[in-house]
Amino acid sequence: MSHYRAVKGTRDIFPDEVIAWQYVERVIHRVAALYAFHEIRTPVFEYTDLFQRSIGATTDIVGKEMFTFQPDPNGRSITLRPEMTAGVMRAFLQSSRASEAPVHKLYYISDLFRKERPQAGRQRQFCQFGAELLGTSSPAAVAEVIAFMMHVFRLLGLTGLKLRINTLGSVEDRMRYRDALRAYLLPFSGELDAPSLERLEKNPLRILDSKNAAVQDIVSGAPALRDYLQPAALEEFEEVLGYLDDRGIAYVQDPLLVRGLDYYCHTAFEVQCADLGAQDALGGGGRYDGLARELGGASDLPAVGFAVGMERLMIALEKQGLLSELPVQGPEVYVVLQDRSLLAHAVTLCGALRDAGIRTEIDLAGRSMKAQMREANRMRAAHALFVGRDEVAAGAYGLKNLESSVQQALSLEAVITELGHG
Ligand code: AMP
Global model pTM greater than 0.85:
yes
Report the candidate in 351, 372, 154 with the shortest Cα–Cα distance to residue 271: 154
The residue whose CA has the least distance to atom 8 of ligand 1 is 309
Give the CA radius of gyration of the chain.
28
Ligand 1 pocket test, pick from 7, 126, 313 with the greatest ligand atom count within 8 Å of Cβ, gives 126
The residue whose CA has the least distance to atom 10 of ligand 1 is 283
Q: Could you tell me the sign of the dihedral formed by the alpha carbons of 140, 130, 303, 172, in that order?
A: positive
Q: What is the pLDDT of residue 55?
A: 83
Dist. CA 224 → ligand 1 center (Å): 27
Query: Residue 56 carries which side chain, given as an amino acid letter?
Result: G
Task: Check if the beta carbon of residue 283 is closer than 8 Å to that of residue 294.
Answer: no
Ligand 1 neighbours (beta carbon < 6 A): 83, 114, 116, 121-123, 126, 128, 260, 281-284, 307, 309, 311-312
Q: What is the pLDDT of residue 259?
A: 73
Report the candidate in 314, 337, 316 with the shortest Cα–Cα distance to residue 398: 337
Dist. CA 390 → ligand 1 center (Å): 60
Coil vs helix vs strand at 252:
strand
Q: What is the pLDDT of residue 381?
A: 97
Dist. CA 50 → ligand 1 center (Å): 19
Ligand 1 atom with the shortest distance to the CA of 121: 21
Ligand 1 pocket test, pick from 209, 311, 315, 317 with the greatest ligand atom count within 8 Å of Cβ, gives 311
Residues 6+ apart with CB under 8 A from 132: 84, 85, 88, 89, 104, 105, 106, 107, 303, 304, 305
Cα 25 from Cα 21, distance rounded (Å): 6
Torsion on CA atoms 285, 289, 291, 297, rounded to nearest 10:
150
Dist. CA 128 → ligand 1 center (Å): 7
The overall average pLDDT reported for the chain is: 92
Dist. CA 121 → ligand 1 center (Å): 8
Q: Which residues of the chain have pLDDT under 70?
A: 260-262, 421-422
Ramachandran region of residue 395, left (φ > 0), alpha (ψ -120 to 50) or beta?
A: left
Dist. CA 276 → ligand 1 center (Å): 12
Ligand 1 atom with the shortest distance to the CA of 310: 12
Residues 6+ apart with CB under 8 A from 13: 21
pLDDT tens digits, 389-411: 999 999 999 999 999 999 999 99
Residues 6+ apart with CB under 8 A from 335: 346, 349, 350, 353, 360, 361, 362, 363, 384, 385, 387
Cα 225 from Cα 237, distance rounded (Å): 13
Ligand 1 pocket test, pick from 279, 287, 315 with the greatest ligand atom count within 8 Å of Cβ, gives 279
The residue whose CA has the least distance to atom 13 of ligand 1 is 309
The residue whose CA has the least distance to atom 6 of ligand 1 is 283
By the 10 Å C-beta count (0-12 exposed, 13-18 middle, 19+ buried), 11 is classed as middle
Dist. CA 307 → ligand 1 center (Å): 8
Ligand 1 pocket test, pick from 122, 158, 259 with the greatest ligand atom count within 8 Å of Cβ, gives 122
Dist. CA 308 → ligand 1 center (Å): 7
Torsion on CA atoms 311, 60, 237, 208, rounded to nearest 10:
110
pLDDT tens digits, 346-389: 999 999 999 999 999 999 998 999 999 999 999 999 999 999 99
What b/e string do you get for 174-205 counting C-beta neighbours within 10 Å, with b at 16 or more? Answer: beebeebbbeebeebeeebeeebbbbbeebbb
Task: Check if the beta carbon of residue 2 is closer than 8 Å to that of residue 310.
Answer: no
Dist. CA 241 → ligand 1 center (Å): 25
Ligand 1 pocket test, pick from 11, 61, 67, 128 with the greatest ligand atom count within 8 Å of Cβ, gives 128
Q: What is the pLDDT of residue 422?
A: 55
Q: What is the pLDDT of residue 412?
A: 96
The residue whose CA has the least distance to atom 3 of ligand 1 is 260
Cα 92 from Cα 102, distance rounded (Å): 13
Task: Check if the beta carbon of residue 310 is closer than 8 Å to that of residue 359.
Answer: no
